Amino acid sequence: KQEVTQIPAALSVPEGENLVLNCSFTDSAIYNLQWFRQDPGKGLTSLLLIQSSQREQTSGRLNASLDKSSGRSTLYIAASQPGDSATYLCAAFTFSNDYKLSFGAGTTVTVRA
């Protein structure tokens, strides 16, 4: 069974600092790795999807890397802003799990102005 872990559970940084969020997974046979953002009282919004054949994916200030062999993905957010404050979840879409995503518990980020 795929287990997805996110460390740390919470992170507080001053505005302008770069953010590094970690995600690890136990089963490397994945189709893709997805990063989501969740604001309080809202659903999840897809940020980036890295295919299993890719090493990284970029969108604006966001960059996500994937190392399948070590079972790790990292989300980088450059020059953080207060609007980046949210919970970030990663999810692995695994071959053995037939189109079901296994989610981590999330990292709650606070960017202080």
Partner 1 sequence: DARVTQTPRHKVTEMGQEVTMRCQPILGHNTVFWYRQTMMQGLELLAYFRNRAPLDDSGMPKDRFSAEMPDATLATLKIQPSEPRDSAVYFCASGKQGSYNSPLHFGNGTRLTVT
The residues that touch partner 1, with contacts defined as CB under 8 A, are: 31-32, 34, 36, 41-46, 49, 51, 89, 93, 98-101, 103-106
- DSSP per-residue codes, 26-79: S---EEEEEEEEE-TTS-EEEEEEEETT-SEEEETTEEEEEETTTTEEEEEESS
Residue placing its CB nearer to partner 1 in the complex, 40 or 83: 40
Which residues are paired to 93 by β-bridges?
A: 32, 101
Q: Nearer Cβ to partner 1, position 13 or 54?
A: 54
Residue 48: φ, ψ to 5°: -145, 145
Of 13 and 103, CB closest to partner 1: 103
Min dist CB 16 to partner 1, Å, is 29
**How far is 2 from 5, CA to CA, in rounded Å?**
10
Shortest separation between residue 17's beta carbon and partner 1, angstroms = 27
If the CB atoms of residues 18 and 110 are measured against partner 1, the closer one turns out to be: 110
State the minimum distance, in angstroms, from the CB of residue 19 to partner 1.
21
